[in-house]
Amino acid sequence: MRQNDVIGAERRTSFCRLCASSCGVLLDIEDGRITRVLGDAHHPISGGYTCPKGRRGGDLVHGHDRLTSSMRRTATGTHEQISATQAVTEIAERLQAIVDRHGSEAVALYMGTQQNFSALTPVMARSWFRGTGSHKLFSTMTIDQSAKWVVAERMGSYLGGRQRFEDADVWLLAGTNPIVSANGGDGDGAVVHNPSVALRSAQARGLQLIVVDPRRTETAALADVHLSPRPGTDAVLFAGLLHVVLTENLHDLDFCRRYTADLSALTDAVSAVTPTVVQRICGVPADQVDHAARLFATARRGMATSGTGLCMGPHSNLAEHLVAALNVVCGRYLREGEQADDRSVLTRRVPARAEVDPPARAYEHGYQSRVGGVRAIRGELPSGILADEILEPGPDRVRALIVSGGNPAAALPDRKKTLRALRSLDLLVCVDPRMSSTARLADYVIAPTTMYERADHTAIMEPFFPQPFAQFTPALVSPPPGVVDDWRFFLDLATACGQPVKFAGRILDPAAPLTSEQLLAMTAERGRVDFADVVASPHGYAAGPSGAVVGAATAEAMRNRLVLMPDDVRAELHEALVESAAADDFPMRLTVRRIREAVNSTGTRVPGLVPGGTNPVAVHPDDLAALGIGDGQEVTVRSASGRLCAKARADRTLARGTASMTHCFDSTDIAGAHGVNVNALTSNAAGVQTINAMPTLTAVPVAIEPAKETR
């Protein structure tokens, strides 16, 4: 018996590919099926940690609803099986006909979350898309945390790297709940893996944890300081924190002099935002604002990071800008000569330099959409306008949409409009292992291999690991005979469309197709570690520090400065400060909330995984009592944009006046499925950010009432 064999089954190492954590796992495989998923205790990063959905990975691969063949929509609207080869031929023909009639701008690609957990798919999907010549590229980043892109465009970026979690003595997490999401905003990878243990052990060595969240989340429960602002008021709170830091001269004057252009403009802009003003607008006691600001600014090292709770709010670009400004004025960055924060292993190292990449405002010159004059940012059009891009009449209308590892029918704001848009396409293709809400509307559904059926490496996830680390996994179970690798679909599609495919700097020869392993090796060519060494390390390869240090600024960059308070940001701050109080019609604020058992829509349909099988609307028990609603009762939730019915759940972790609900659930036309789609309540018109068209998905004003008819 080999060491890896367990009784009646084989035990293999791999890593989970449902979220950025990429936890190391052990799989028990019996007769070609995964019977058990366990944490890999020998994994240098996750150390045996897994979450409930990761442990149900076998159900996601072999589940009853798994597609084993590609599908084509029939004239009556049902779906029939079709071979992937035939589907590619037909899709290429229909794309060509659309392009011949309407031009290449009629073709769009939507890149969803699950595409990114496969190393080859994003590269190949983009490669096909580039060949179309269209500008209609969309991804979930623009309905997620594209405020971070906007900050870099308006403030600029410091290129020396950020202070690290491992030696920080303060850490501020705003609008993120890493213990559940394994995310932590754009924060250090250290809070992403086994997050509860990582936070507790940092606190044991002296780290002070500040959490900004209207809910006493699993993460907030650990905090040394928990600020609970009214949802959607973070911009004012952060302006207030900056006010305290700057008026008390707690900032890093040296760093500000060297790297910023306009500290006095920032000081001036926040001068009226005293802790008393913060208390009035945000509901956070003034003494807590003082305390948190002093704690953050006087610590030696640390960082403020933010997640969806900030980036989805009504002033998301401003709030995110002020979080970044707090880090800048406190000098929370690595200086020349310090050890660089270099996590590249399979990816190419980008040298760290103690200099500034100045604000480029490139979005002011990008491709301009017909819709609202919005322009491309980082080569993408905002997903917030995708439905309008499809519906708005005109020569550039999107008529063909390819969806890769995403579920826009569930994820985009204004559900009714989104469904109308998806239904009105001439061609909708969805690459998805399940009949998702989007796949149900598609003309073709391409059934791909899933994790554990495909070889992969962790290159894309390198920035999220707390130390330089890489892992390779071979395919461990055989896919159903009718499915294809996602990357292969995009390569075949490009070939059928007569487009050459450039991959890792080379044009691929369609007549001599490469294997996944060969392509993975090609993407790792510029790494500092030999890919073969990573392949030979079943628990992953801890590469050790690269020894790189932060270099001196180049002569050309010496004069570059960060811009802390440009005029448009100042105008946004003014608006956030004068905003009128809540309308009585919609007295509650509905907030975002992630659960351990699902990552967006993935997991929502695994039997017995999500507690109660649905996504309730959680409300403080005293609010429920005041509304005359019992725990578990059916309620109607109304917003200015729509309504939905859900089960109420009493939840003491929420602040009064706040409700929360998990997104991407959807039971429409799926027998036996539970849950309701929150985007029935959101809009892509009201409360949308300029620049990135980011909709308001948290702090949505709602009213909650007992449902008229109870079942």
- Work out how close the CB of 232 gets to ligand MGD at its nearest, in angstroms, rounded to a whole number: 5
Residue 22 as a binder of ligand SF4 (CB under 6 A): the answer is yes
Strands 617-619 and 658-661: antiparallel
**Binding string, residues 480-509; x marks residues near ligand MGD by CB under 6 A:** ------x-----------------------
How many Å is the Cα radius of gyration of the chain?
25
Q: With CA atoms as reference, report the closest residue to 283 among 350, 212, 190.
A: 212
CB of 217 to ligand MGD, least distance (A): 4
* 355 vs 388 by CB, closer to ligand MGD: 388
In the bound state with ligand SF4, the residue whose beta carbon lies nearer, of 22 and 217, is 22
What is the full DSSP assignment across 357-397?
E----GGGTSPBPSSTT-B-BTTB--GGGHHHHHHS-STT-
Q: Which span sits near ligand MGD by CB under 6 A: 72-80, 291-299, 301-309, 455-463?
A: 301-309
Is residue 54 at the binding interface for ligand SF4, with CB under 6 A as the rule?
Answer: yes
Is there binding between residue 186 and Mo ion (CB under 5 A)? Answer: no
380 binds ligand MGD (CB under 6 A): no
Q: How far is the CB of 45 from ligand SF4 (least distance, A)?
A: 10
Q: How many residues contact ligand MGD, by CB under 6 A?
A: 64
Task: Candidates 187, 408, 466, 527: give the one binding ligand MGD (CB under 6 A).
Answer: 408
| SS3 (DSSP) at 127 | helix
Q: Is 217 in the site for ligand MGD (CB under 6 A)?
A: yes
If you count them, how many residues does the chain have? 711
DSSP string, 407-426: -HHHHSSSHHHHHHHHHT-S
- Chain centroid to Cα 340, Å, comes to 26
Task: Return phi, psi of residue 90, to 5°.
Answer: -70, -40
Full DSSP string of 620-668:
-HHHHHHHT--TT-EEEEEESS-EEEEEEEE-TTBPTTEEEE-SS---T
Backbone angles phi, psi at 680, to 5 degrees: -60, -20
Cα(337)–Cα(46) distance, integer angstroms: 30
Given 431, 484, 496, 565, the residue binding ligand MGD (CB under 6 A): 431
- The nearer residue to ligand MGD, 364 or 575, going by C-beta atoms, is 575
Nearer to Mo ion, 274 or 407 (CB): 407
Determine which residue in the list 14, 27, 40, 53 makes contact with ligand SF4, applying CB under 6 A. 53
12, interface contact from ligand MGD, ligand SF4, Mo ion, none, CB < 5-8 Å by kind: none
Strand partners, 53: none
> Does residue 190 touch ligand SF4 according to CB under 6 A?
no
Q: Residues in contact with ligand SF4, total (CB under 6 A)?
A: 11
16 binds ligand SF4 (CB under 6 A): yes
Q: Is residue 21 a contact point for ligand SF4 (CB under 6 A)?
A: yes
Question: Smallest gap, in angstroms, from Cβ of residue 601 to Mo ion?
Answer: 12
**Which residues inside 309-328 make contact with ligand MGD, applying CB under 6 A?**
309-310, 313
Catalogue the E-assigned strands of 454-604.
456-457, 469-470, 472-473, 502-503, 506-507, 541-542, 588-592
Options 61-69, 284-292, 350-358, 675-683: segment touching ligand MGD (CB under 6 A): 675-683
Judged by CB under 6 A, does residue 687 bind ligand MGD?
no
The item of ligand MGD, Mo ion, ligand SF4, none sharing an interface with residue 21, based on CB under 5 to 8 Å by kind, is ligand SF4
CA distance 521 to 512: 17
Candidates 24, 189, 195, 214: give the one binding ligand MGD (CB under 6 A).
214
Each residue 68-107 as x (binds ligand MGD by CB under 6 A) or -, in order, gives ----------------------------------------
> With respect to ligand MGD, which residue has the nearer C-beta, 160 or 313?
313
Determine which residue in the list 40, 105, 144, 234 makes contact with Mo ion, applying CB under 5 A: 144
Per CB under 6 A, the list member of 13, 14, 23, 644 interacting with ligand SF4 is 23
647-660: burial string, b at 16+ Cβ within 10 Å, e else = bbbbbebbbebbbb
- Measured CA to CA, the distance from residue 428 to residue 420 in angstroms comes to 13
Rounded (to 5) percent helix, strand, coil in the chain: 35, 20, 50
- Report which residue's Cβ sits closest to ligand SF4: 54
Q: Name the nearest CA neighbour of 262 among 328, 208, 176, 312.
A: 328
Candidate segments 45-53, 155-163, 328-336, 483-491, binder of ligand SF4 by CB under 6 A:
45-53
The answer to whether residue 19 forms part of the interface with ligand SF4 (CB under 6 A) is yes
Q: Rule CB under 6 A: is residue 182 a binding residue for ligand SF4?
A: yes
Q: Are residues 649 and 615 in contact, defined by beta-carbon separation less than 8 angstroms?
A: no
- Residue 687, classed as helix, strand or coil, is coil
Site size with Mo ion, rule: CB under 5 A: 1
The CA distance from 332 to 324, in Å, is 10
Q: Which of 631, 607, 460, 485 is nearest to 125 (CA)?
A: 485
With 0-12 / 13-18 / 19 or more C-beta atoms within 10 angstroms meaning exposed / middle / buried, residue 186 is: buried
Nearer to Mo ion, 144 or 651 (CB): 144
- Distance between CA 696 and CA 586 in Å, rounded? 15
Residue ranges that bind ligand SF4, judged by CB under 6 A: 16, 18-19, 21-23, 50-51, 53-54, 182
The contact set with ligand MGD (CB under 6 A) reads: 19, 112-114, 140, 143-144, 174-178, 180-183, 212-215, 217, 229, 231-232, 234, 307-310, 313, 404-408, 410-411, 431-434, 436, 448, 450-451, 486, 591-594, 596, 598-602, 663-664, 678-679, 682, 697-699
Chain contacts with Mo ion (rule: CB under 5 A): 144
